[in-house]
Structure 1
Amino acid sequence: MFRVNHIHLKSPDPKKTAQWYVDVFGAKITGEGTGMGGATTVRMEIEGTRINVTSAPAGETLPQGTSESHYGLEHFGFDTDDIEAAMDHVQSHGA
């Protein structure tokens, strides 16, 4: 009945964040634009899963996120055939 349509992330620099997903996970950029309130949006896809990365609306800032437990998105997971190589790859890109 339902399927995931997309995941939506917020970032102060959507292009830089999207490029990280390209470099680390092989994401494909599918579009860029300016959305509601002048927010920058980058759309990408990884193996059929769509991910949007959006900035705050123009002239606004959002509070910095923390790694402390809180309500909201906890995580999303990826599958890999070689966890050790995958961890080395992700960590070499700053994770």
Structure 2
Amino acid sequence: MPAHLEHANFTVSDPAATAEWMCDLFGWHIRWKGDAIAGGHSIHVGTDAHYLALYSPDAPQKAKESSYTTVGGLNHIAVTTDDLDALETRIKARGFVTKNHADYEPGRRFYFHDSDGIEYEVVQYD
């Protein structure tokens, strides 16, 4: 039996603000929020089956290098949609800038960065 990805945990500056735009744009909901084991605060946001754990330590530090050149760095998070164009319109309305549009097998996609510099890929499969 194969394993299934349940969640990913990454650091953001403001878990509540990040969870709010994710719920609005992706149709997700907050599954849990509270104090983190190692200090700081976490919010779990996603679907009933999968989620992202948004963590903020007591004293967050800004990233110093590109995640694409750092071993162990987070390169991007991908979500799928049934209507790429409609979701892109909503993402732009939230003030995010979309880029790197591509149309290749197996679908169309674009990318955007949030206010923490985390890159998101949005894909619509044919």
> Which TM-score band (shorter chain)?
0.7 to 0.9
Alignment TM-score, normalising by the size of structure 2: 0.63
Q: Greater helix share, 1 or 2?
A: 1
Pick closer, same or farther for the CA change 1:12–1:65 going to 2, 3 Å.
farther
- Give 4+ residue runs of structure 1 displaced > 6 Å after superposition: 65-68
Q: Greater strand share, 1 or 2?
A: 2
Uncovered stretches (5+) of structure 1, i.e. residues with no partner: none
CA distance in 1, matches of 2:66, 2:24: 23
CA distance in 2, matches of 1:6, 1:14: 15
Residues 30-49 of structure 1: matches in 2 within 5 Å?
Answer: 30-46=31-47, 48-49=49-50
- Which structure's CA Rg is the greater one? 2
Q: Larger relative contact order (C-alpha < 8 A, sep ≥ 6)?
A: 1
Q: Which amino acid aligns with 2:85?
A: E
Answer whether contact 2:9 2:54 (CA < 8 A) is retained.
yes
**Alignment correspondent of 2:74:** 73
Answer whether contact 1:42 1:53 (CA < 8 A) is retained.
yes
Alignment TM-score, normalising by the size of structure 1: 0.81
Uncovered stretches (5+) of structure 2, i.e. residues with no partner: 97-126
> Alpha carbon RMSD of aligned pairs, Å?
2.1
Residues 1-95 of structure 1: matches in 2 within 5 Å?
Answer: 1-46=2-47, 48-56=49-57, 58=58, 60-64=59-63, 69-71=68-70, 72-95=73-96
